[in-house]
Structure formats: structure tokens, C-alpha cells
Amino acid sequence: MKVIREIASWVVPILVGLAIAFIVEKFVFTMARVDGPSMEPNLINNERLIVWKQAKIKHLSVIVFDAHGEDPTATKPKTDYVKRVIGLPGDTVSSKDGNIYVNGKVVPQNFISMNERTAGTGNWDIKSLSKSWPKNTHATKVPKGEYFVLGDHRSVSNDGRYWGFVPKKKIIGVAKTYFWETNKTKRTNVNRLGY
């Protein structure tokens, strides 16, 4: 009996700890890593992020989502992308001369340079983009339960312009940087933007 109690005295705390860790990762937060240059200059390749699963998704929030089934080039399940939310459900989105318009109003893009706004961006709206999408062809606005996302480094970002919207069910959460891994401007551009 004494041996069983001794074994239980160290097995039970381990099991409780594992259960708490599982619950936290499943419902509260997880970790992610930036893969590639699409979010430069605010996030760089291999930068680590905290992903808050219950955070409210707002315009300009940086999110992490599973692109498998959305982007045709994401052929493996759990292919996580990090992008910035531009359009919420019901929004119209367009681009002209480096400016992004949501519901006819200019979106402030102080988080990227004029060159990053204009290089490779072009003039477009959801209707013109959606003609070449595999899903939601002929869409004119962001559908209910879905989001329109762009990378900050527009000229190299594989984002919603090329394959469409991100369903809410594919979003893992809102990304935040660690305070010690980046400078104040970058932290503000990732952690504090949103309206």
C-alpha cells in the first residue's frame, strides 16, 4: 500500500499538470512561428509568436490560421499562415494607388512603408479578385463567418488576393509578439493595432 501511495504522490501531479497544459493549449493560447517574409517588416522569418485563441478578431489584427483547404498551394494539413485581417464579415475591400479601402474608407497603414503598400499590389476590389479564386467566385464582399487577409510585405505575400477568404473555423487565434523579441514599433504594429 505504501508503494502505491508513493507512486501516486508523483504520478498524480504529473497527470494534473499535463491535463492543465492540454486545456491551456486547446482553449487559451498556443505558440506559432512565422514562416517566410510575407509579414516583414513587422514580423520576420522564424519569429515566434503567442497565439491567443479567445481574443477578438478586429480589423488589422494579426492572425494565425490553417491555410490547408483555403490556399491551393497549402497541400498539407496544419499549414499555418500568419496574416493581417483587412476585411471582417460583411465588409467590402478594395485597393487603389497603394491605399486599402474598407467599406469605402481608407485604412490607415502606418505599419508599412509606401513602397510596401504599392509594390506588387495594384488596383483591385473583391469582385475583380474573386473571378480567379477556387471558392467564392463572383463575391463582392466578405461572406458571413469569413475574413479577408493580407500580408504586410504585399509584393511577396501569398494571401487573400490570390485564393480568397479565411473561414472563422480555420483561425487558430490572434498573434502577439514577445516583448523581448522585437522593438517597440514592431510590438505596437502587431500587438496593439485593431479597430
- Domain-embedded: residue 12: no
Residue 94 sits in a domain whose CATH number is: 2.10.109.10
- Candidate list 38, 61, 95, 157, residue with the active-site label: 38
Amino acid at 88: L
Instruction: Express each pLDDT in 38-84 by its tens digit.
Output: 999 999 999 999 999 989 999 999 999 999 999 999 999 989 999 99
**What total of structural domains would you count in the chain?**
1
Instruction: Express each pLDDT in 14-46 by its tens digit.
Output: 655 555 555 555 555 699 999 999 999 999 999
Residue 195 pLDDT: 74
Handedness of CA 32, 34, 39, 40 (dihedral sign): positive
The reply to whether omega before 108 is within 30° of 0 (cis) is no
- Measured CA angle at 69 (ends 65, 74), to 5 deg: 75
- Domain-embedded: residue 110: yes
- Domain-embedded: residue 24: no
Residue 18 pLDDT: 56
- Candidate list 61, 83, 95, 176, residue with the active-site label: 83
Of 6 and 138, the one with more pLDDT: 138
Instruction: Express each pLDDT in 42-51 by its tens digit.
Output: 999 999 999 9
Active site residue 83: yes
